[in-house]
Each structure stands twice: as C-alpha cells, then as structure tokens.
Chain A
Amino acid sequence: MFSSLAKLGRYRALILTLVVRDLKARYRGSVLGFFWSFFNPALLLFIYTFVFTKVLPSSHPASMEPFALFMFCGILPWTWFSASLLESSNTLIAGGNLIKKVMFPAEVLPIVTVLANMVHFFLGLPILAAFVLYYQRPIDPLELLWLPVIVLVQLILSTGLALFLSALTVHFRDLKDLLGNLLTLWFFATPIIYSVEMAPRDMQWWLNINPMTHLMRSYQEVLFFDGPFGHQRWLLGLGVGSIVVFLAGYFVFDRLRDSFAEEV
C-alpha cells in the first residue's frame, strides 16, 4: 500500500492535467463559461439573503446578522464536500474505459474529482470575500491564516472518503443512490443553516461526533464570528482523524484495485 502511495507523487502532472481538463470540459459550450463558478454561489447567496431577511426574518437570533453570510460560510465548503463525494462515487465507473483499456492509476480519478471541486470552492471565495467587505464584518487577518489549515483538513478528509466510496461503488452500485440521501441527511445534521448554539442542548453531543461540525464551525469562526478563533483543538484533532480516514480509504482502494478492471 505504501509503495503505491509513494507513486502518487509521480502522478502530479497527470492529476493536474486531468483537473484542468475537468474544469475546461465542464463549462465548454456555455456562454458564460468560467463565470458560472462565480455566479452560482453569488446567486445562491442572493436567494438566501432574500429568504432569511424578507420571508423568515425571525428564524435566527439578531446576533447572527447577516444570517445569509453565516450560512454562506458553511454552504460553500459543504458544496465542495458533497459534490466531491457524489461525483467520486461514480468516477471509476464513468472512467471505466481508462481502467479497462489503458494502464492507468485508478486512484487518480477520485483525487481529480475532489481537486476539481476544490477549485470551484476557491472560485466561490471571492464572492464570499466581497460580501464580507460589503457587510463590513470585522475580520482578523491573523485568524485568516487558519483558513488554509481548514481547507487542508477538509481536502484530506474528502479525499479519503472519496477513495473509499469510489472503490466500493464499483462493487455495490446501490451506494450511489444511497449516498445522495445520506448527504442530505448529513447536511441537516451539520450546523450549516443553524449555528451550534441554536441547536437544542441534548443534540450537542451528536453534533460533536460529526466531523463536518468542526470543519464548518472552523470556517464560521474564521469568516463570520467575532472574537478569536477558538476551535483549534477540535480542528487539529479532526486533522489527525482525517489522515487516518485517508489511509483507511486508500487501504480499501488498494485492496480492491485489482478487481476494478474486471468489475467496472
């Protein structure tokens, strides 16, 4: 396993090329092209602003204003996370031609999926930044230094899960459909459209064992909440957990690797 993990470094050029290909191909043929990566989150933010200031103004405490911005801090990384998992569950089957007919390192495919979605996440960040400036939120530049760490933890976690899911879906096709529903459940079980404080007391324990809670909370603390970043311990703990998830995911992937060419 570790020998094939070591090889991963050699596929950098391949991974990079495929990420670029994915991004290029996604918007090829549409008039606005790459701008969609900006517009999609911007439109989403407008919709949430409208719903939570005009339609449901009392859905949140006044201290959480602007609530749309709060939600946006969670939805943007969540979209990266859920799209990565959903797409990677299908990526080996979609790339069956490569696995069956060419000598091709299969793990590249889920990794590319996660990275391509990360680029979309990055393209959404300027929109987020624009709104932070517009609302004149006080942001501590030192706190912003945590942002790359949070992104890295999410990247490792997502990649580990993506490897695990992509390998299993080859054998259990039902997983793809199951996953869509599971992710919806997970979305509501994570403090994204509500904050940890807004959740009932007896739910706190449940929220704490959800790894995404800590990721989202970290994003929210850095980008939304005033005051110093207070979630380091949880975040670093999650970082260690993510590495374990990644290694476990890679282990399962490596074990099932030989069956891909026959099962896809």
Chain B
Amino acid sequence: MKPAIDIINVSKVYRRYARRRQFATLKSALLDGSLLGDLKPDETFQALRNVSFSVPKGCTYGVIGSNGSGKSTLLKCVAGITRPTEGEVKVDGRISALIELGAGFHPEISGRENIFINGIMLGLSKKEVQRRFDEIVEFADMQDFIDAPVKTYSSGMYMRLGFAVAIHVDPEVLLVDEVLAVGDQGFTHKCLDKFSDFRRRNKSILLVTHSLDLVEKFCDEAHWLDKGVSKGEGDPKKVVAAYIMNVEDSEEHSLAKAEAARLAASASEVPQAPPPDVDGEKAPENPVDDAETTRDGFKATEGRWGTREIEITQVSISGPDGESGHVFQSGDDITVHMTMTAKEPMTDFVFGLGLFNADGVCVYGTNTNLEEFQPSEIVGECSVRFEMDRLDLVEGTYRLDLAAHKADGYPYDYHRLLYTFRIKSRVRDVGIYRPAHRWTFGGGITFKGGTT
C-alpha cells in the first residue's frame, strides 16, 4: 500500500544572510545584478540532513528531539510551507497542519465569520464549512461567544477555535506540532479522543512533540532527530529510551562544563589565612550548622576558601558503575571521592560533606567529627571516599559542599556548593527524601501498573 507520507533523503538548508545583506537595498541589488540571479547566501544553516522515513496509512508517527533538532522544519516541509533543499516529500491525500492555530484569524471580525474564512483557507468549500459548523463550535465549546469578535477571545479560546477548525477539515494526513498544550485537561482529552478517532478511520498523524509520554502511549512508531540528523526510528519505547539516554549524556556534559568553570573561578581566589566572613558571622563550625544558616538562603553562595594547609585537590562523584559522572538514577549507589594533600603532617582535621537541593535546603550533612572519628594524623597525598549505598532522592539537581577543617571550624579548604549532580527518576514523586517503600492493598482494591 502507498504510504501516507514518504520522506526521501530530505535536506533543508536555511540561508543566513550577513548583516550587510540583510539591510541590502534595491539599489545595491540592482548594481550587483543579484535581483534576478540567485541571492547568494554568505552562510548557511543545515536544519535537516538526509532524513528519510515513511508513515504508513493509519499510523501515528511521533517525531522527538531537542529544541533546534529540525522537527518543525520537517513538519513544514511535509506541510508544503517550505520546500526541502534536496530530497522529496510525497504526501497522499489532504493535509491539515496544526502548526499555528488560528493563523488566519482576523481579530476584528466574529468567530463565526472566521470559522468560514479559516475553513476556506484550509481548503474546504463554503458548503463544507456550513455542514461542519455546528460540530466545530461544539468541539471548541464556544457556543456563547461565537458572534463576538475574535480580538475579545482569551488565548485559550483562540487556540481552541483554531484547533477545532483545523481538525474538522477532515484530512487524510494530520500534522501536529506541539499544540496539545493549548487547552485545559478536558480539552486535551477531547483532542486525544479525536486523534484516536482518526486512527480508527485509518488516517495518519505525524506528531511533533516534547511530551515523551504521549509518544510512548500514543504513537505506533517514533523517530528521533538530533541537529537535523536522523538518530533512530522504530518502536516508540526504544526510541524514547535512546533519546532519554542521550539527553542525560548532554546534561552530563553541560554540568561538567559548568562545574569546571566554577572550579576555575574559585581556584583563582587567593588562599586566605583567616576564615572569610561571608555575612559577618563566624565561620561555620561544621557542615550541619552551616546548613542551618543556608536554609534562609542568604549564605548559599558558591565559592572556595581556607588556608589550604590541607588542600582538596580533586573531587569526583561516581555511580554504580564506578565511573565518575553527573547524572544518576534515584536509588543508585553513589560515591564521592576526594583527593587531598597535607602540606605538613596535621593532627587536627575533620572532613565534612553537605548535600543541598536546588532550593538550598540541606538534604543531608555530616562530618567525621560528628561520627566520632578521632583524627590522629594526615600526611602527604591521601584519599577520602564517602560511599552511599542507596541515594534515594527525588528527581532534581543537587549540590555538594565538601570541606576539610579543624574541629573548631578553622577552615583548611572549604568547597561551597561547587559540585553539582542531577538525579533522574521515572517516578514523579515530590519532596526531598524517598524512603524505601512499597504499597500493599487489601480487600477489593485492584490496580494496573505501578512503579513500586
């Protein structure tokens, strides 16, 4: 059977004109003779590179990818709004594109007239619009306002009406670009029902979205684009999983970069003998006390201070595989590894650690003094490992304080919020701490699914 959409080796190159050209005038164009010749780009931007796939009839096809990956450009090529630079797009049947809802609405005239105009723009005849009119109004839930000028509509009403018209064009192929976010819950359900209805009638949907849940639940096939290049297609669950892995990798990368920048900034600070008074108070006695003052958020500034008599030279955070990283799953075993150097043998030293969430709330803090390790000596280069068997945190970004100081708080080397890592979780639970737990149900209660 002929596929509904066939995309063959599509590439799209956008031209980026240099500033000088952008403000080029007719005169310069005439002088250069470029008016009738091709406008030569000074720079180009490749939005799509050799993308190929086909959407069979009756298939719901999801396209995922980060911002700027070329999803919307692809959709515009399929919709015929722009032409691909190379390659070919074949579409079988009438297309309706839910790209910009209500794009043709005129603010001064009524919703009723706009429905007609919009319908005709989307390729219906006046009679066809007439036939669907009641259904459209009903779907958009706009009975009371249909004769008011569109400029008086709220943005939700505007979008709903646009959506209702576009979907009632009754296309063979529906292109959807991230438009499900327009309405309230009820409307979103209505839209999803409408999509299901489409599927039943063997029509095809090409869906571009950031909602991975939607792709997993709703699509028959998925396609992952990254910077205009096809990175994989097939079973939605697999494609989404591959995409999430990649997002974690790139988050990892950006966290590592930010951390390196912070460390570089703090390294340039001159080692100080007296403890710095961040806001006129005495230096923190230990990380836990420090956390108390952090809670009001005033002292949550990152930085590094101390005499460096004992210096923390290297820090890494590693997950269950022992590799250092910045993105972990909730419940992973996580180890914080510090390398330090004592310039001279010391007898008074405490190692501490504080863990903070993005709000600056101390999740946990401890040190060797609190746990009653009696220091006897530190010499030369040594290492400290802090191993957590299960770090059951909810999803979020966390920061670490690490310190080496005297028992009275005199700082040797204090690293304040310099280390960041992210915890990922499949469960969208909230709070700070996730106790190990399970649900059990007795009597006549039954559930399907569940993650614990």
Let me know if B76 and A24 touch, CB within 8 A: no
Given the known A-B contacts A103-B95, A261-B81, are A98 and B103 also in contact in the complex, defined by CB atoms under 8 Å?
yes
Chain B contacts for A99, CB-based, 8 A? 81
A174 to B26, CA, bound (A): 8
Question: Which of A172, A258, A259 is packed against the most chain B CB atoms within 10 Å?
Answer: A172
Residue B79 is within 8 A (CB to CB) of chain A in the complex: yes
Q: B406 on the interface (CB 8 Å rule)?
A: no
Contact of B125 among A13, A100, A102 (CB under 8 A): A13
- A32 on the B face (CB < 8 A): no
The 29 sampled A-B contact pairs (Cβ below 8 Å) are A13-B126, A14-B120, A14-B121, A17-B126, A21-B106, A21-B117, A25-B106, A28-B108, A28-B109, A97-B100, A100-B81, A100-B100, A101-B97, A101-B103, A102-B97, A102-B103, A103-B79, A103-B81, A103-B97, A104-B104, A171-B29, A172-B24, A172-B25, A172-B26, A172-B29, A174-B26, A175-B26, A178-B26, A258-B83
**Is there contact, CB below 8 Å, between B99 and A102?**
yes
Contact of B120 with A13 in the complex, beta carbons under 8 Å: yes
Query: Are A103 and B103 touching (Cβ within 8 A)?
Result: no
Interface hits, B29-47 → A, CB 8 Å: 29, 36, 39
Known: A104-B121, A172-B26. A24 touches B99 (CB 8 A): no
Within the complex, the shortest CB–CB distance from B93 to chain A, in Å, comes to: 14
- Nearest residue in B to A26 (C-beta to C-beta)? B108
Assembly CA distance A101 to B97 (angstroms): 9
Contact A17 B83 (CB under 8 A): no
Q: How many A-B residue pairs have CB under 8 A?
A: 75
Task: Tell whether, in the assembled complex, residue A101 and residue B81 are in contact, meaning their CB atoms are under 8 Å apart.
Answer: yes
B421 within 8 A of A: no
Verify A171–B103 contact, CB threshold 8 A: no
A42 proximal to B (CB < 8 A)? no
| Residues of A contacting B125 in the complex (Cβ-Cβ under 8 angstroms) | 13
- A18: Cβ under 8 A from any B Cβ: yes
B15 within 8 A of A: yes
Output the least CB separation between B418 and chain A (Å): 45
Given contacts A24-B109, A103-B95, 17 further A-B contacts (CB under 8 A): A18-B117, A21-B117, A25-B109, A28-B108, A29-B108, A101-B81, A101-B99, A102-B81, A102-B121, A103-B81, A103-B97, A171-B29, A172-B25, A172-B29, A259-B39, A262-B15, A262-B82
| Chain B CB within 8 A of A168 CB | yes
Residue numbers in B under 8 Å from A175 (CB-CB): 26
Shortest 6 CB-CB distances between A and B: which pairs?
A101-B100, A25-B108, A28-B108, A101-B103, A172-B26, A97-B103
| Distance from A254 Cβ to chain B, minimum over Cβ atoms (Å) | 13
Q: What's the nearest-Cβ distance from chain B to residue A123, in Å?
A: 19
Bound CA span A99–B29, Å = 24
Tell me the bound Cα distance from A104 to B120 in angstroms.
11
- Number of A residues whose C-beta is below 8 Å from B? 28
Residues of chain B lying within 8 A (CB to CB) of residue A258:
82-83
Q: Which residues of chain B from 59 to 83 have a CB within 8 Å of any chain A CB?
A: 76, 79-83
Chain A 176-194 against B: per-residue CB contact (8 Å), 1 yes, 0 no?
0010000000000000000
Q: Does B178 contact A (CB under 8 A)?
A: no
Residue in A101, A178, A261 whose Cβ sees the most chain B Cβ within 10 Å: A101
Q: With A and B bound together, what is the CA distance between A97 and B29 in angstroms?
A: 27
Which residues on A sit within 8 Å (CB–CB) of B14?
262
A17 proximity list for chain B (CB < 8 A): 116-117, 120, 126
In A21-66, which residues have CB < 8 Å from any B CB?
Answer: 21, 24-25, 28-29
Is the Cβ of A261 less than 8 Å from the Cβ of B120? no
Tell me the minimal C-beta distance from B171 to chain A in angstroms.
11
Closest-CB distance, A156 to chain B (whole angstroms) = 22
Answer whether residue B251 sits at the interface, using C-beta atoms and an 8 A cutoff.
no
B149 at the interface (CB under 8 A from A): yes
- Nearest opposing residue in chain A for B101, CB measure: A101
Determine the distance from Cα of A15 to Cα of B175 in the docked complex, in whole angstroms. 25
A98 touches B104 (CB 8 A): yes
| Contact in complex: A174, B25 (CB < 8 Å) | yes
User: Counting chain B CB atoms within 10 Å of each CB, which of A17, A29, A174 scores highest?
Assistant: A17
Within 8 A of A (CB), among B5-62: 14-15, 24-26, 29, 36, 39
Give complex CA distance A99, B121 in Å. 12
Q: How far is the CA of A21 from the CA of B39 in the complex (A)?
A: 35
Docked Cα-Cα span, A104 to B122, in Å, equals 8
Minimum C-beta distance from A153 to chain B (A): 27
Residue of A nearest to B118 (CB): A102
Asked whether, in the complex, the Cβ of B82 is within 8 Å of the Cβ of A261, the reply is yes
